[in-house]
Amino acid sequence: SQTIHQWPATLVQPVGSPLSLECTVEGTSNPNLYWYRQAAGRGLQLLFYSVGIGQISSEVPQNLSASRPQDRQFILSSKKLLLSDSGFYLCAWSGTSGYEQYFGPGTRLTVT
């Protein structure tokens, strides 16, 4: 069966510091991968998606970036965090048909 991992689970970072969140998927090959952000009490905002290694599409212009160095690894990064980057970050995967998406446990990021 497939599983998706995210770490860290929680993170408190000062404004201006760098960020690296990691997501890995097990039990499947060539998944589509997604990064979402969920602000407190709000819905989901798609940040990035990837259909293959090195292929990243950005949905929202911001100071975040994503990379996919391996087939089942997806990384969300920032060089300098802003207060507005605080939120709950969710990684998800789907099959290549993009049918339904399966989510990781999320990372709670607080920028102070």
Partner 1 sequence: GDSVTQMEGPVTLSEEAFLTINCTYTATGYPSLFWYVQYPGEGLQLLLKATKADDKGSNKGFEATYRKETTSFHLEKGSVQVSDSAVYFCALRAPDSNYQLIWGAGTKLIIKP
Q: Which amino acid is at 7?
A: W
Interface with partner 1, residue 108, by CB under 8 A: yes
What's the CA gap between 21 and 1, in Å, rounded? 24
19, 25, 90, 111: residue in contact with partner 1 (rule CB under 8 A): 90
44, 67, 71, 73: residue in contact with partner 1 (rule CB under 8 A): 44
Which residue ranges make up the site for partner 1 (CB under 8 A)? Answer: 6, 32, 34, 42-44, 46, 49, 51, 90, 92, 94, 96-106, 108
